[in-house]
Structure 1
Amino acid sequence: MSRHLLSKSHDSAWPPPPPAHESDSEKQIRLEDERKARIVSESIDRSIELEKSEKQKHRAQIKILVLGQSESGKSTILKNFHLYFHPQAFQSDLSAWRAVIRFNLIRSVNCILDLLDNKGSRPSSTDSASKAISDHLRRLALRLAPLRHVENLLLRRHSASGPVSGDEGNSFPTRGGASIDSPLYTGWKALSKFKRSSESNVFGVDDVDDSQRVIEACKDDIVSLWANESIQATLKTRSIALEEQSGFFLPDAGRVAAHDYMPTTNDILRARLPTSGVEEHRIVINEGSGHGKDWLFYDVGGAGGQRAVWAPFVDDVKVVIFLAPICAFDQPLDDDPRTNRLTAVFDSWKSVCGNQLLSEVHFILLLNKCDILDKKLKSGVPFAKYVSSYRDANDTRSVTKYLDRKFEHIHKTISPSPRKLYTHITCAINAKTTATVIKRIQEGALLHNLLTAGYL
């Protein structure tokens, strides 16, 4: 048998070899038959591809709108959905996440360095002990100064659409005061730039590698800076709550800045990649009642100027997931310091619940960041001081029960038509407990109703 007949190549297997002793007229007939057969074959191939494409376009979907303030945990919840249905979702992007997490780390460091540049943040006493502390911090600041250049370099290299300002940038939360802002790239699209820059020289990989080496070289000084009692006292005096910021890794600096560091799942959940505008995330569900279906999430930026952006995306949306950062009861809005963040959350909730465009949409409410709420209440921060209608004990169970009832009451009284509200108390950076919530969302009454109605 001829060698080319055994080939799997389409071109070598077709057409077949001509018969022996073929006449010119027979050859012309054969070639014409082969031409027609090839046209038919190619037409069939095109039809198959078109049918596959149409099936993909019309496969069953559930569209979900994810709403909430900046720093409410929207992107973290979406990471949890990715990890729940595709546990290896971030494995191919570990080097990019490492760069993001280290960037989060140096933003926190540079925030502290900015405070040290302010004369009021340094010890005012002239005694020898205070002078020694001041000199030590001055030396630390000098050794950490290259991190400012590293931050600026990474911002230039990885800004997805130019730096973002305001509360969609890095906004370090304060209690009862203004935030300390730093511009930042936006959304997971920026992650792809971190990834590409680690794979090619297009985005200056040499500079990026040098930046990573600088961070590694500064590891011990970063650890020393965060452990410094004078720094801790300054942060407390100025009511700057760095630990409440997503992307906060200072306690883990020794691990994150180590040469062999690779992010854990928990690190990735805590990493900060703010969203500006609307980002679309498609997740294929490969288990349970939604097997083989697409969940299409619209993640909406939470800054004041972004809150109306979701309106064009309500067509065919079946579910709204609203995240309320319940730990923010003692913080002002970054873009309006006169307004309490929790009050603003209630106002947003009223607006969403009463929207006629969402009258047929089912709602899922996530009372998020319960871990930070618990720490605040246990540290003695009085909930009733900021929420005048609250009369119960200053503990997590009582406060969450009050908030649950209040959100439920707003939903019931303002919704255009009766509907069920599904409420969960969450800590989005805890993958295990959030997985339980996701499972309830997937298998609970809401998605069951959507399935029986033909939406899934």
Structure 2
Amino acid sequence: MAPSPMSPASPAFAAPNGNGTPAGYSRRRSLSDPFTAMLRPPADETPAERHQRLEAEHRARQVSESIDQQLKLEHQEQKKNKVDVKVLLLGQSESGKSTTLKQFQLAHTPAAFRAERMAWRPVIYLNLVRSIRRILDAISPDLDEPVIVPQTALTDTSFAQPSAGVVLSDTEIAQKHARYSERLAPLLDLEERLITMLAEDDEEEATRLGDGSSPGWSHGSYTGRPSLSVETRIPAAQGARSPGSSSLHRSHGEVAVRTTSNWKKALSLSRVKLRPAAPDQPGGEVVGWWEDPSDPVHVLSQCSRDMTALWADPWVRTRLAARRIRLEESSGFYLNEIDRITAKKYIPTDDDVLKARLKTMGVVEHTFTVSTGPKVPKPMVWKIFDVGGARNQRQAWAPYFTDANAIIFLAPISAFDQVLAEDPRVNRLEDSLLLWRSVVSNKLLQHVNLIIFLNKCDLLKAKLESGVRLNQYLLTYGERPNDYDSVSRYLRNKFGLLHQQYTPNPNRELFIHFTAVTDTRRTSTIIANVRDIIVRQNLKDSKLLV
């Protein structure tokens, strides 16, 4: 009887092998597979060739296993060091980003923060010396408009207006300027030394940035800039620049260091040489930098009395007011503490470091851990990025938007009567509003938590109380009251409305805080609240909290 076509004994079917595959099938496939054919040993392989082939395969397998092990270790390391929360600090230059980062450091890594305080001593000295230089520039006889000496001393505020008094002649101005310049000349040499101290070993000096000065600007006219539903203006000859970049500061631009620089390590307390006192020195006092004749403190100490006299001179204060140079508004303001800063054994305080100004070129980052409570017993790793706020640095922001959990945006609301150092046609408050609109409307950031610090509210209050009117610079403010409560409420609503109008995510919450980030007590409370907001939102996003 002929076998059935479906019978297993049919020639059309081969008996299955051990894997259930028909016998001969795998052989036929291997013969037709070029990759398998390439790996098959030669038919005429000798025993010596076979030994060499197996040795080579063994070495290749060891290399492959080593690579796999390395990848596994790297994966474990990345998992261990995984950043749970990524926060960006955004805002224009001198908005308070660096000070906010310092406040986070002080709150979460106080020991490390205080270990670096000594490194800030040359920076603080440089800030003080450059303030003196700005004053000498402002009282220069080269500036020919008349300056009035008040009949009574000005109050100790940068917002005071010149009073009626006696006009100094050109000769008197020249004599006064020459007298101060001669007495304070050692500070100009010291400025160069301090800049050199901040330089890296492979460069001659720290980078000098241009001050962004321009020959002048039109009377309230703006060209080539985005429009906004708020009108600002700069009255003729009254557009105050950012205090740190006065147009009168002709000689030097702002000093900056690269973020890769090790200046903190080089100047930290651990590198300051302390030695025991000589046996014949009474009290066995430790002798340190104050006994080093080349230390900058000696020049500062010698010029201390003349610096104090310059800053206390009513005519100088009036000259500054006439030029609308308000040094008290700037970071790095120490003119009210000259005696303490120039003391030979001066060690910077936390507040001194928070106020210190040193522009960095690049992105500054800080990593720390935050305890999240019983729901998530493992601490969360935070990384905060302070990116540059000057206009030529903002194009570098975008790469940091990826995986960001939160943005803290800083808007210096006291700067409503100032212009950008980079572009004197642009009002600083308007620039903050435009920058804020671009952040809230960015679709890449639609799921990122937004927190805004309306910063320098203490300076805003002082400025309004001195009589500076917001509606002279922000035309849409109209005839509303010029008091702090009314102005701050208006600005809060203005920033909030921009978020409401331009956000691609209408369900996103916006958290607004009025801040003065140099005030440690108030800012520490705000930072704790911000930290809790970000942690709570991050836990919600991770489905660990409902």
Name the TM-score class by shorter chain. Answer: 0.7 to 0.9
For 1:164 and 1:322, locate their aligned partners in 2 and report how far apart those are by CA, in whole Å.
27
Preserved contact between residue 123 and residue 134 of structure 1 (Cα < 8 Å): no
User: What is the CA deviation profile of residues 372-427 of structure 1, one whole-angstrom value per residue up to 9, with x for unaligned ones?
Assistant: 10010000000111111114211111111111111111011111112110110000
For 2:80 and 2:144, locate their aligned partners in 1 and report how far apart those are by CA, in whole Å.
59
Structure 2: 5+ residue stretches without partners = 1-69, 149-165, 214-236, 274-288
2:254 maps to which of 166, 173, 183:
183
Preserved contact between residue 97 and residue 410 of structure 2 (Cα < 8 Å): yes
Q: Which moved more, 1:152-161 or 1:332-341?
A: 152-161
Structure 2 counterpart of 1:34: none
**Corresponding residue SS for 2:297:** helix
Structure 1 counterpart of 2:406: 319
For 2:520 and 2:262, locate their aligned partners in 1 and report how far apart those are by CA, in whole Å.
23
1:221 maps to which of 293, 306, 314:
306
Structure 1 counterpart of 2:81: 57
Matched, 1:257 2:329: no
Q: Which runs of 4+ in 1 moved over 4 A?
A: 46-52, 121-125, 127-137, 187-191, 205-208, 286-291
1:71 maps to which of 94, 98, 104:
94
Structure 1 counterpart of 2:468: 381
For 1:48 and 1:336, locate their aligned partners in 2 and report how far apart those are by CA, in whole Å.
51
2:519 maps to which of 411, 430, 433:
430
2:194 maps to which of 149, 154, 161:
154
Structure 2 counterpart of 1:112: 135
- Cα 1:186/1:55, change in 2 over 3 Å: same
Matched, 1:140 2:189: no
Q: Which amino acid counterpart does residue 404 of structure 1 have in structure 2?
A: R
Preserved contact between residue 105 and residue 366 of structure 2 (Cα < 8 Å): no
For 2:458 and 2:189, locate their aligned partners in 1 and report how far apart those are by CA, in whole Å.
34
CA shift for structure 1 position 122: 9.9
* Pairing 1:221-240 to 2, within 5 Å after superposition: 221-240=306-325
Matched, 1:303 2:390: yes
User: What is the CA deviation profile of residues 275-327 of structure 1, one whole-angstrom value per residue up to 9, with x for unaligned ones?
Assistant: 32222211222465786222111111111101121111111111111000000
Preserved contact between residue 369 and residue 382 of structure 2 (Cα < 8 Å): yes
Matched, 1:362 2:449: yes
Matched, 1:411 2:411: no
**Corresponding residue SS for 2:295:** helix
Q: Which amino acid counterpart does residue 393 of structure 1 have in structure 2?
A: P
Matched, 1:442 2:527: no
- Cα 1:348/1:122, change in 2 over 3 Å: closer
* Pairing 1:13-28 to 2, within 5 Å after superposition: none
Going by fraction, where is helix more abundant, 1 or 2?
1
Structure 2 counterpart of 1:278: 363
What CA RMSD, in Å, does the superposition of the two structures yield over aligned residues? 3.3
Q: Which amino acid counterpart does residue 420 of structure 1 have in structure 2?
A: E
Structure 2 counterpart of 1:163: 207
Preserved contact between residue 446 and residue 503 of structure 2 (Cα < 8 Å): yes
Q: Which amino acid counterpart does residue 187 of structure 2 have in structure 1?
A: L
Structure 1: 5+ residue stretches without partners = 1-45
Matched, 1:242 2:327: yes
CA shift for structure 1 position 139: 2.7
Q: Which amino acid counterpart does residue 267 of structure 2 have in structure 1?
A: K
Task: Report which of the two structures shows the higher radius of gyration computed on alpha carbons.
Answer: 2
- Cα 1:207/1:109, change in 2 over 3 Å: farther
With structure 2 as the length reference, what TM-score do the two structures score? 0.67
With structure 1 as the length reference, what TM-score do the two structures score? 0.79
Structure 1 counterpart of 2:459: 372
For 1:286 and 1:305, locate their aligned partners in 2 and report how far apart those are by CA, in whole Å.
37
- Cα 1:72/1:124, change in 2 over 3 Å: closer
CA shift for structure 1 position 451: 1.5
CA shift for structure 1 position 86: 2.5
**Corresponding residue SS for 1:284:** strand
- Cα 1:439/1:144, change in 2 over 3 Å: same
* Pairing 1:31-50 to 2, within 5 Å after superposition: none
Q: Which amino acid counterpart does residue 454 of structure 2 have in structure 1?
A: L
Preserved contact between residue 372 and residue 380 of structure 2 (Cα < 8 Å): no
For 2:211 and 2:403, locate their aligned partners in 1 and report how far apart those are by CA, in whole Å.
30
CA shift for structure 1 position 264: 1.6
- Percent of paired sites with the same residue: 38
- Cα 1:87/1:335, change in 2 over 3 Å: same
CA shift for structure 1 position 200: 7.2
Q: Which moved more, 1:392-401 or 1:155-164?
A: 155-164
Preserved contact between residue 350 and residue 411 of structure 1 (Cα < 8 Å): yes
For 1:212 and 1:137, locate their aligned partners in 2 and report how far apart those are by CA, in whole Å.
24
CA shift for structure 1 position 187: 6.5
Structure 1 counterpart of 2:487: 399
CA shift for structure 1 position 167: 5.6
**Corresponding residue SS for 2:436:** helix
- Cα 1:164/1:359, change in 2 over 3 Å: farther
Preserved contact between residue 96 and residue 198 of structure 1 (Cα < 8 Å): no
